[in-house]
Structure 1
């Protein structure tokens, strides 16, 4: 009986030892797999961090380029505006002479038969040369514009303005004297009148004058 007992004990121990070795071996394999997983996760984390760094760097460069483009666009806009302003015509030395039927200066409103309007287009080497159209408006004290027809209009700031006189000139960039005439066919009265001169959709000169 004792021999049988110890034999059984040895069998159980041997069986347990085999199972323990198998379990240890399996555990070692699982540990290797786990280490592999840990290494993969670590690599993915490093890759993600690197990708984030690259994305952040690209975004920073993109934003900087966008700001530079916006600044250049604004500079171009301002430069274009400056060039446009510099290229505009300018009317100076504007004078209005009311004349009577003898061609002399009229001293009374009732004697006026014509307005002689003189002005100079100043020298401008940046302005476009060639034929230019000038529009002259003569405004009465009540802001009514003298005109021969309500259809005599020109575009100005997205609207149509009535003009009194249209004058074509051949501009060569040098100072140029201009004279235009208005035949008075309407009733005039004493007060302050105004002459406005336009070219290329821009007001280039104004002058007020009084009639007694």
Structure 2
């Protein structure tokens, strides 16, 4: 009887030990799984922080690239740039904390998401500004080209007008169709006799015919005469000067004629105050700023 009771007590001890062992195993298994979940959670949080930090660095790089453009930013865009950079710095500081709660991590993710939207809009605004500046630059260059072309056209027209004016002015100047020159001696009676000797010549008569010119100014025209001696020296008469062929010249004699546009013959008399020399003399007539005609005569 005692043996049976002893066996019963031993059996109960065994069952108790088995229950204790099972409980310990269950506890160990629970602690193991809880630790595993905790480790996995830490890994997940760490990965999310890294991803957010990488995203912030990308956003920061995009901002730097946008600001490295040669475009001059407006005050509004500069303010937005400062705000975005400050927000990035704030989020980076938050992510660099040793620990983050689930709420802080969720808020950081939402802030980065919003920041991505604003950075995208900011860079799009800068891109639009660059396109507008490029368009304005193109318009400015086109306008400069147009102004340059107009100026060139105006210069060309001015040159054409000057050329036409010069041609018209030259065309309107009086010209001789023929010129005859003779030397004369004045007798005591006042009668003039043509001569060929230098010793007896006292004056010359220049008979010239003005050609028909319908565009010439009608009315009085000044006629200037230059007489060159056989050595080519100008014989100074009245000692005045005039301009012809873009040169300032002295003349020997000056007179005026009336011209109505039709061909007409005129005679010009000039008395030499000095003696004539042997040789050939040149006579050049000028009118309206141009050479009118020329001739010569010889004395022996």
- Greater Cα shift, 55-64 or 19-28: 55-64
Higher helix share: 2
Aligned equivalents of 1:175, 1:118: Cα separation in 2 = 13
Aligned equivalents of 1:75, 1:107: Cα separation in 2 = 50
Per the alignment, do residues 27 and 73 of structure 1 end up closer, same or farther by CA in structure 2, a change over 3 Å counting?
same
Aligned to 2:284: 196
Unaligned residue ranges in structure 1 (runs of 5+) = none
User: How far apart are residue 140 of structure 1 and its match?
Assistant: 0.8
Length, aligned pairs only: 207
SS in 1 for 2:274: coil
Q: Pairwise mapping of residues 62-81 of structure 1 onto structure 2 (< 5 A)?
A: 62-81=147-166
2:200 paired with 1:111: yes
User: How far apart are residue 148 of structure 1 and its match?
Assistant: 4.2
Larger Rg: 2
SS in 2 for 1:109: coil
- Are the counterparts in 1 of residues 176 and 210 from structure 2 also a CA contact under 8 Å? yes
- Greater Cα shift, 107-116 or 43-52: 107-116
Greater length-normalized contact order (CA 8 Å, ≥ 6 residues apart): 1
User: How far apart are residue 30 of structure 1 and its match?
Assistant: 1.2
Per the alignment, do residues 187 and 61 of structure 1 end up closer, same or farther by CA in structure 2, a change over 3 Å counting?
same
Q: Could you tell me the TM-score, scaled by structure 2's length? A: 0.61
User: How far apart are residue 124 of structure 1 and its match?
Assistant: 0.7
Per the alignment, do residues 147 and 17 of structure 1 end up closer, same or farther by CA in structure 2, a change over 3 Å counting?
closer
Superposed CA RMSD: 2.8
Aligned to 1:93: 178
Unaligned residue ranges in structure 2 (runs of 5+) = 1-27, 46-99
Higher strand share: 1
Q: Could you tell me the TM-score, scaled by structure 1's length? A: 0.85
Aligned equivalents of 1:184, 1:49: Cα separation in 2 = 80
- Render the CA deviation track for 1:23-48: whole Å, top value 9, x for unaligned: 10111121112111111111112212
